[in-house]
Amino acid sequence: MSVVSRKEYIGVPRDRVENFNGNQLVYVGWDNHLLFASAFLLFVSPETVFRDMVQNNVIPLIGADPDAEKIDWDSVTWLKGNQPWTPNWDETLAANGIGHKMLLRFKTPSLNSICG
Amino acid sequence: MDTPVNKKKLSLKEKYSYLTRDLAWEPSYQKKEDLFPYATYEGIKVHDWEKWEDPFRLTMDAYWKYQAEKERKFYAIIDAFAQNNGHLKITDARYLSALKIFLQAISPGEYAAHKGFARAGREFPGVGPQVACQMQAIDEIRHAQTQIHAMSNYNKFYSGFHAFADQRDRIWYTSVARSFFDDAMSAGPFEFMIAIGFSFEYVLTNLLFVPFMSGAAYNGDMSTVTFGFSAQSDEARHMTLGLECIKFMLEQDPANVEIVQKWIDKWFWRGFRVLGLVSTMMDYMLPKRVMSWREAWDIYGEENGGALFNDLARYGIRPPKGWKDAGEAVDHMSHQFMLALYQWNFGTAFHSWIPSDEDMDWLSKKYPDTFDKYYRPRWEHIKKMDEAGTPFNNFGLAKLCQTCQLPTVFSEPGDPSSLCHRETEYKGETYQFCSDHCCDIFKEEPEKFIQAWLPMPALFQAPLNGDLEAWMEWACLENGSDNGDFKGSHDQVSFQKWREMTTSN
């Protein structure tokens, strides 16, 4: 049963991608770096190149953690939807299969200054 | 002249029976199921409404008399409070943050409960619960009113009190409480009773009101204490009603047990998430503390709740599914949530601050296994940034949980250094959650929860389209006075100045 109701009942999702004027939401979290209380909510175009998203949307948000400047982005490992995953840095989010409201996590195992 | 008739005064028992059970009637020209269309669709089977035992023998006339008496006392004290500069008698203006959260998130919940009980009183076919629910509906609206009146005096002097009703609907940290009540009110009458009557009033209310009212007393806030006393006798009645209702359902049909258990699992966890707000008040916001959140949980959660579920075991009810995870989370949640409130304090209609060294020592004493290991280093780093003139704000807005609507700030059970991420797909859409339990609640009724209005995704849709300033205006958040660090705030400066004026020339 998808809802307890007296008759057939179909809900309308409130946060459908059509409501975001051609953009979408992407969540990005930095594993084990809990100075940032939650994964970040990014508001980006599906045509954004992955590298640009990291450069323009992620890096400006993580500077408060001293580990940020030590990240070697080539050795970072990623999860998409909590499963191991490898991004194509020069493709768009759409081509990388990063849909609306999906969660990406990145891991930097050797770095843990504050939340070790 | 009429012949005088000796009117026999009714005995209490007769009066009670005339004014409650005797108000019912059997419909003659309408079918019962047309009169009470919401009574069966949830699957709860009731064979005999007469078996309902009224949990308290109170008639409307007696109720009216008691409540009027309490109101008179309450408003006399509120007047005295206003006339005697009660707003300067609190321990420190930091205390007001706890009060503001309460007013923005919890008091509107009383109003929502009023609406819910009025509806449940109409929808239950039995006269016993009808009368009991109607009385509770009146209690709840009285509580909303007295709380608002009790705190209104502070609104004349301090920031953050002026738009609680809009902020209840629009601000992000209040949506955990708003969605809790919306969820309950859009359920059927039986689930509503488990949600509010049982889970909220019985299992969780002590954790909410006892620490909050003691906090008010410890910190010199007589108006809130007075409200607390005025509501106390009502709360006892509400707890009894919640318990009676659950026992009635369990005794009416063995098939009800499974449904009730599912609701207990759901509503315990939803309530526990609402209590996240209370945990930050207790551990971080009271200048003079009452007890830690952990200590409150041990007494009012673990001990009282444990006893309750032992009592219900004979019906085949077990403790809620999230009980163990909750017990573990209690050592972490106030720190995780407070760090979040602090880093997003540009978007809160109350002030937060970096705990002092003394505060941190108290926290590490109260949380010997977790504070120094996980949370002190974060606060120390934030303090260092503040001292360097680059205070920490997190401008990456948060991923919210589709069910409880809180930012997903809680850690993985068994691993406090990892955030808990849960995700599911429904009809091609992706949904995010803070925990297994919130994810499970969604999966039970996805068609309901996909409609959730989540404050952060809403900010990026029309008409706000991601404009933070426009959002503040819409949320009635006055930038530079309602929000931000306590240090240097109007509240801090005014309180200090006015206190000095009362003690020196």
Tens digits of residue pLDDT in B33-81: 999 999 999 999 999 998 988 877 788 888 889 899 999 999 999 999 9
Q: Where are the domains of chain B?
A: 35-353+392-503
Split at pLDDT 50, 70, 90, the class of B275 is very high
Beta bridge partners of B419: B411
Largest CA distance in chain A: 57
Split at pLDDT 50, 70, 90, the class of B1 is low
Name the DSSP class of B9: P
User: Comparing C-alpha atoms, which of B10, B15, B22, B23 is closest to residue B59?
Assistant: B15
Average pLDDT, stretch B301-313?
A: 90
Is pLDDT at B250 greater than 70 in this prediction?
yes
Whether B45 and B252 have beta carbons less than 8 Å apart is answered as yes
Mutate which of B447, B449, B456, B465 to test chain A, going by most A C-beta atoms within 10 A?
A: B447
**Cβ-Cβ contacts under 8 Å for B503 (sequence gap 6 or more):** none
The span from the CA of B213 to the CA of B177, in Å, is 19
pLDDT digits (tens, 9 = 90+) for B327-357: 999 999 999 999 999 999 999 999 999 999 9
pLDDT for position B58: 80
Name the DSSP class of A39: P
Nearest CB to B340; choose among A11, A12, A37? A37
Torsion of CA B80, B83, B88, B89, to 10 degrees: -20
Name the DSSP class of B461: S
Q: Which helix (H) or strand (E) holds A28?
A: strand A24-30
B344/A31 CB distance under 8 A: no
CA B36 to chain centre: 29
Torsion-angle region of residue B113: left (phi > 0), alpha (psi -120 to 50) or beta?
Answer: alpha
Provide the 10 A C-beta neighbour count for residue A25: 22
Q: Where are the domains of chain A?
A: 17-107
Is the alpha carbon torsion for B434, B440, B443, B444 positive or negative? negative
What Rg, from alpha-carbon coordinates, does chain A have? Answer: 17
The CATH classification of domain B35-353+392-503, taken from the options 1.10.357.20, 1.20.1300.10, 1.10.10.10, 1.10.620.20: 1.10.620.20
User: Comparing C-alpha atoms, which of B118, B183, B175, B170 is closest to residue B144?
Assistant: B118
**Residue A107: is it exposed, middle or buried by C-beta count within 10 angstroms (0-12/13-18/19+)?**
middle
**Residue B27: is it exposed, middle or buried by C-beta count within 10 angstroms (0-12/13-18/19+)?**
exposed
The span from the CA of B158 to the CA of B482, in Å, is 9
Beta bridge partners of B415: B412
How far does the CA of residue A98 sit from the closest CA of chain B (Å)? 11
pLDDT digits (tens, 9 = 90+) for B436-455: 999 999 999 999 999 999 99
User: Comparing C-alpha atoms, which of B408, B453, B402, B466 is closest to residue B170?
Assistant: B453
Is pLDDT at B272 greater than 80 in this prediction?
yes
Residue of B nearest to A22 (CA): B461
Name the DSSP class of B345: G
User: Between residues 422 and 441 of chain B, which touch chain A (CB distance below 8 Å)?
Assistant: 422-423, 427, 429-432
pLDDT for position B231: 85
Q: Which residues of B touch A97 (CB under 8 A)?
A: none
Torsion-angle region of residue B43: left (phi > 0), alpha (psi -120 to 50) or beta?
Answer: left
pLDDT digits (tens, 9 = 90+) for A8-38: 999 999 999 999 999 999 999 999 999 999 9
Is pLDDT at A84 greater than 80 in this prediction?
yes
Q: CATH fold of A17-107, please?
A: Ubiquitin-like (UB roll) (3.10.20)
pLDDT digits (tens, 9 = 90+) for B389-412: 999 999 999 999 999 999 999 999
Q: Which helix (H) or strand (E) holds B342?
A: helix B333-343
Q: Does B369 touch chain A (CB under 8 A)?
A: no
**ipTM, 2 decimals?**
0.97
